[in-house]
């Protein structure tokens, strides 16, 4: 009887821990074909450097500095990218996990380009002396393609054309048909999708209207990115960027522009300056009057 | 003695006999000056090593000094209540008390200015308040209005004194030469002519009217130093009236204490009578009732809604770290005195002295309760700081520096009351029909 009581107590006390343990250990499954994916270019000091800046900007807040074990205190723990646990992942696993995320790890599919993701991975790998990069997969499997994107604005027609070319083995560019293209606009953090993906026509083009109502800073400039949408994971592409003055210019009024209570002295509200000064002048006027009266008191006989 | 039958000579003799340098005075002043010197040594330490010698830190940055400042401003308001309000209404019994109240007002207003400087790590930068002060800042309003109120109070003390100074100068021959010389300078060639009397009357009248709004302003603005923030316990639309009514409480008690000692030491029993104590007792009771009413508003209204920050704050006061001080102040310094003052027997001089002392001390701690506790619970969490940043405890040096303000105030009050008639001679004589107006 007593024994059972203790078992119950034990379960009661540790249930929470077991529960949370179970939660952290749920495996994060990566599809087989994604595991095998490798970077389309060779990791060099340059790619590490770009990757580092991406990491500083977008990963450090949670993962800390690689090697310093100073990740953010959240559950599940993000882990140190330089640690052995982290480095056992294949490049493909990392690529997939960065792209898809799993709460609280954000989904970076839409925020970073494929290229940037590989660059971050090259940075993370630079902390692993035992790492050797698998040969970049240029000799492609069936259906694999290397693509290149271009953006052409037509201001008269207010249209945007995105051209998608395939780069052949002979390094020649030919229009790629039937590729899904997503147009994005850069925001403060991440990107905003402009409509749904569109499929390229026979000449490799998709067409969009100029976005009518996007706010675009002081000069109305919006930062567009065209990106290949790739479910298969077999397309290697770099994004096309264009900064075009086709947004609505937005000049934000600063809170300190007008006279206000919270502003500097020279921008004090007029009524306040008047009230303060007039009150002081009035009272001190009377004080001076009294001092003069005292003078009169002294010198009148 | 029949009050009516005093001759002018006797009256003058009674009201000026304390103007002499006697042993009691020397011992008392010696005590004050030695005390002040010890405290000034503490202040020198602060000047040398900086504000770090005090217990104030980043979170609780307003401690004893600021509480003391509020207390001094508060107490100085009594000049306006007695001379201004009661005087303008035409209440007669205040005649022998007006100058006492005015002296307290001048001393406390002067010290309020100094106390603020004690709270500055770099007092040499005081002028920056004016050079760079913003019209939007209650701090600029505060220094302006404190200065103005001090000048008004000093004038209101000085101008009615002029005829008395001339009179004393004429009637006393035994006084040392330097004192008589000071008298003749200060009396501004006074002669009792209708023309000169008219000038004085006009000046006093202007001052009595001006002193009322400026006294209200000085303490309302002081309250705004707090109420213009969103902190629990300070974020209140009632703060102006809260401070002003509280000021009358501490000021009235200060006047009662002063009355008691002047009457005893300067033998003024025939002029400051039991009747005056009784009247002051009623006045004190009245202002305390009003203050109690404001207190109920200040605690019940947030206490009913219990917004998170208010809840923390009120809990600290009612049952937390400050509970003992809080209940001592509210019961010992407010509720109990009100009840006691209801009884005739308690409004005699000696019981009144003790009641006034309790109220006065309670009023000082009340300022501490208003200023300090809420700062220990800022809206953003206190993190990664040494332990002594989290809870404020005044240091010994800080206490000594705070005490110096009381020594200085007492020195001013002692000097003024010792060398000038405490009770207006001319006015008393006119009231008693001894001289023509």
Instruction: Sketch the domain layout of chain B as residue ranges.
Output: 3-431
Average of per-residue pLDDT across B323-332: 97
Chain B residues touching A268 at Cβ < 8 A? 134-136
pLDDT of residue A18: 41
In this prediction, residue A4 has a pLDDT band, given cuts at 50, 70 and 90, of low
List alpha helices for chain A, DSSP H: 2-24, 32-35, 45-58, 60-63, 84-87, 91-100, 114-125, 270-299
Q: Would you give the distance in Å from CA B363 to the centre of its chain? A: 11
Checking if the pLDDT of A195 tops 70, the result is yes
User: Are A276 and B141 inside 8 Å of each other by CB?
Assistant: yes
pLDDT of residue A15: 45
* B41-45, B135-139, B370-374, B382-386: least confident range: B382-386
Q: Of A268, A280, A287, which has the smallest distance from its Cβ to B134's Cβ?
A: A268
In which region does residue B300 sit, left (phi positive, over 0), alpha (psi from -120 to 50) or beta (all else)? alpha
Chain A residues touching B210 at Cβ < 8 A? 283, 286
Q: Measured between CA atoms, how close is A270 to chain B, in angstroms?
A: 10
Average of per-residue pLDDT across A261-265: 91
Query: Where do the domains of chain A lie?
Result: 24-125, 145-244, 265-300
pLDDT of residue B118: 93
Checking if the pLDDT of A114 tops 50, the result is yes
Q: Of A269, A290, A301, which has the smallest distance from its Cβ to B206's Cβ?
A: A290
Average of per-residue pLDDT across A172-193: 87
pLDDT of residue B236: 95
Contact A82, A29 (CB under 8 A): no
pTM above 0.80, yes or no: no
Q: Of B141, B189, B199, which has the smallest distance from its Cβ to A293's Cβ?
A: B199
The per-residue pLDDT of chain B, averaged, comes to: 94
Chain B residue with the nearest C-alpha to that of A299: B189
pLDDT of residue B4: 52
* B28-32, B177-181, B207-211: least confident range: B177-181
Average of per-residue pLDDT across B237-265: 97
Tally the C-alpha atoms within 13 A of residue B177's C-alpha that lie toward its C-beta.
Answer: 0
Q: Which of A293, A297, A300 has the highest number of chain B CBs within 10 A, making it the mutation to test binding with B? A: A297
Checking if the pLDDT of A244 tops 70, the result is yes
Checking if the pLDDT of B253 tops 50, the result is yes
Which of B405, B421, B429, B428 is closest to B108 using CA atoms? B405
pLDDT of residue A23: 47
In which region does residue B435 sit, left (phi positive, over 0), alpha (psi from -120 to 50) or beta (all else)? beta
- Going by the DSSP 8-state scheme, the letter that residue A269 receives in this structure is -
* A221-235, B20-34, B130-144, B157-171: least confident range: A221-235
User: Are A265 and B134 inside 8 Å of each other by CB?
Assistant: yes
Using the Cβ of B130 and the Cβ atoms of chain A, whether some distance falls under 8 Å is answered with no
- Going by DSSP bridges, is the β-strand pair A235-238/A145-154 parallel, antiparallel, or unpaired? parallel
Class of CATH domain A24-125: mainly alpha
Q: Of A268, A284, A297, which has the smallest distance from its Cβ to B135's Cβ?
A: A268
Which of B125, B140, B43, B423 is closest to B268 using CA atoms? B423
A274-291 confidence digits (pLDDT tens): 999 999 999 999 999 999
pLDDT of residue B423: 95
User: Are A300 and B162 inside 8 Å of each other by CB?
Assistant: no
pLDDT of residue A20: 43
Residues B298-330 as b or e (16 or more Cβ within 10 Å = b): bbeebbeeeeebbebbbbbbeeeebeebbebbb
Q: Of A261, A286, A298, which has the smallest distance from its Cβ to B210's Cβ?
A: A286
Average of per-residue pLDDT across A88-92: 91
Q: What are phi and psi of B345, to 5 degrees?
A: -65, -25
In this prediction, residue A13 has a pLDDT band, given cuts at 50, 70 and 90, of very low
Using the Cβ of B273 and the Cβ atoms of chain A, whether some distance falls under 8 Å is answered with no
Using the Cβ of B141 and the Cβ atoms of chain A, whether some distance falls under 8 Å is answered with yes
Checking if the pLDDT of B193 tops 70, the result is yes
Q: What's the CA gap between B211 and B84, in Å, rounded?
A: 7
pLDDT of residue A141: 53
pLDDT of residue A281: 97
User: Are B190 and A297 inside 8 Å of each other by CB?
Assistant: yes
In which region does residue B64 sit, left (phi positive, over 0), alpha (psi from -120 to 50) or beta (all else)? alpha
The per-residue pLDDT of chain A, averaged, comes to: 85
pLDDT of residue B275: 95
pLDDT of residue A139: 46
Checking if the pLDDT of A5 tops 70, the result is no
Average of per-residue pLDDT across B53-57: 94
Checking if the pLDDT of B214 tops 90, the result is yes
A19-31 confidence digits (pLDDT tens): 444 445 688 888 8
In this prediction, residue B173 has a pLDDT band, given cuts at 50, 70 and 90, of confident
Which contacts of A63-68 are long-range, i.e. CB under 8 A and separated by 24 or more positions?
A66/A124, A66/A127, A67/A127
- Considering chain B, what percentage of its residues have pLDDT values greater than 70? 99
Contact B143, B129 (CB under 8 A): yes
* A131-145, B10-24, B243-257, B321-335: least confident range: A131-145
Q: Of B140, B151, B202, which has the smallest distance from its Cβ to A287's Cβ?
A: B151
Tell me if the domain spanning A145-244 has CATH number 2.60.40.10: yes
In this prediction, residue B2 has a pLDDT band, given cuts at 50, 70 and 90, of very low
Checking if the pLDDT of A17 tops 50, the result is no
Q: What's the CA gap between B72 and B67, in Å, rounded?
A: 9
Q: Which of B136, B138, B156, B196 has the highest number of chain A CBs within 10 A, making it the mutation to test binding with A? A: B136
pLDDT of residue A14: 46
Checking if the pLDDT of A254 tops 60, the result is yes
Q: How far apart are the first and last CA of chain A?
A: 113
Q: Measured between CA atoms, how close is B171 to chain A, in angstroms?
A: 20
A–B interface: beta-carbon pairs under 8 A:
60
Question: B3-431: which CATH topology?
Answer: Formate dehydrogenase/DMSO reductase fold (1.20.1630)
pLDDT of residue B72: 97
């Amino acid at each position: 009887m007593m024994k059972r009581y203790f078992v119950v107590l034990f379960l009661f006390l540790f249930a929470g821990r077991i529960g949370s343990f179970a939660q952290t250990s749920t495996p994060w499954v990566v599809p087989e074909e994604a595991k095998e994916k490798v970077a389309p270019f060779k990791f060099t000091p340059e790619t590490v450097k770009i990757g580092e800046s991406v990491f500083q900007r977008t990963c450090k807040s949670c993962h800390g500095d690689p090697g310093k074990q100073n990740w953010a205190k959240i559950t599940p723990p993000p882990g140190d990218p330089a640690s052995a646990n982290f480095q056992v992942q294949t490049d493909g696993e990392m690529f997939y996990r960065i792209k898809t995320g799993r709460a609280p790890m954000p989904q970076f599919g839409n925020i970073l380009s494929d290229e940037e993701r590989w660059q971050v991975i090259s940075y993370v790998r630079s902390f692993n002396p035992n790492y050797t990069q698998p040969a970049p997969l240029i000799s492609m499997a069936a259906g694999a393609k290397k693509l290149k994107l271009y953006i052409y604005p037509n201001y008269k027609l207010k249209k945007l054309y995105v051209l998608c070319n395939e780069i052949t083995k002979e390094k020649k560019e030919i229009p790629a048909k039937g590729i899904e293209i997503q147009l994005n606009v850069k925001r403060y953090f991440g990107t905003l999708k402009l409509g749904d993906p569109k499929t390229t026509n026979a000449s490799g083009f998709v067409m969009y209207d100029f976005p009518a109502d996007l706010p675009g800073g002081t000069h109305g400039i919006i930062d567009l990115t065209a990106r290949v949408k790739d479910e298969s994971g077999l397309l290697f592409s770099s994004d096309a960027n264009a900064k075009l003055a086709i947004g609505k210019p937005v000049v934000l009024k600063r809170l300190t522009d007008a006279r206000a209570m919270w502003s500097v002295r020279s921008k004090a509200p007029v009524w306040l300056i008047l009230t303060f000064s007039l009150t002081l002048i009035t009272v001190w006027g009377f004080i001076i009057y009294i001092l003069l009266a005292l003078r009169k008191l002294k010198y009148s006989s | 003695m029949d009050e009516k039958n005093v001759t002018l000579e006797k009256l003058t003799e009674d009201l000026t006999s304390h103007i002499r340098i006697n042993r009691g005075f020397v011992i008392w002043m010696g005590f004050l000056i030695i005390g002040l010197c010890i405290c000034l040594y503490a202040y020198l330490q602060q000047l040398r090593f900086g504000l770090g010698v005090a217990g104030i830190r980043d979170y609780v940055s307003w401690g004893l000094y600021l509480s003391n400042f509020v207390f001094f401003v508060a107490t100085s308001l009594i000049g306006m209540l007695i001379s201004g309000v009661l005087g303008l209404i035409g209440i007669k019994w205040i005649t022998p008390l007006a100058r006492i109240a005015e002296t307290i007002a001048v001393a406390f207003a002067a010290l309020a200015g100094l106390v603020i400087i004690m709270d500055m790590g770099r007092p040499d930068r005081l002028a920056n308040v004016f050079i760079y002060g913003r019209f939007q800042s209650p701090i600029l309003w505060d220094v302006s209005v404190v200065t103005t109120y001090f000048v008004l109070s000093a004038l209101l003390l000085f101008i009615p004194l002029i005829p008395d100074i001339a009179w004393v100068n004429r009637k006393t021959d035994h006084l040392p030469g330097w004192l008589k010389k000071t008298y003749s300078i200060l009396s501004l060639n006074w002669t009792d002519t209708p023309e000169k009397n008219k000038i004085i009357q006009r000046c006093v009248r202007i001052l009595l009217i001006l002193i009322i709004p400026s006294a209200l302003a000085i303490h309302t603005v002081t309250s705004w130093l707090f109420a213009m923030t969103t902190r629990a316990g300070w974020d209140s639309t009632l703060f102006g009236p809260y401070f002003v009514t509280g000021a009358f409480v501490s000021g009235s008690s200060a006047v009662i204490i002063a009355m008691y000692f002047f009457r005893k030491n300067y033998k003024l029993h025939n002029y400051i009578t039991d009747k005056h104590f009784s009247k002051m007792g009623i006045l004190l009771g009245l202002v305390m009732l009003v203050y109690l009413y404001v207190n109920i508003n200040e605690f019940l209204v947030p206490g009913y809604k219990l917004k998170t920050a208010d809840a923390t704050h009120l809990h600290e006061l009612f049952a937390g770290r400050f509970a003992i001080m809080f209940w001592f102040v509210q019961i010992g310094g407010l509720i109990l005195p009100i009840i006691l003052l209801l009884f005739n027997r308690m409004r005699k001089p000696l019981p009144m002295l003790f009641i006034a002392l309790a109220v006065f001390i309670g009023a000082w701690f009340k300022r501490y309760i208003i200023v300090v506790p809420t700062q220990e619970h800022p809206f953003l969490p206190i993190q990664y700081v040494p332990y002594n940043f989290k809870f404020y405890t005044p240091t010994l040096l800080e206490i000594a520096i705070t005490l110096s303000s009381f020594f200085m105030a007492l020195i001013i009050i002692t000097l003024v009351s010792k060398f000038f008639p405490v009770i207006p001679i001319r006015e008393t004589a006119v009231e008693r029909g001894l001289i023509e107006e």
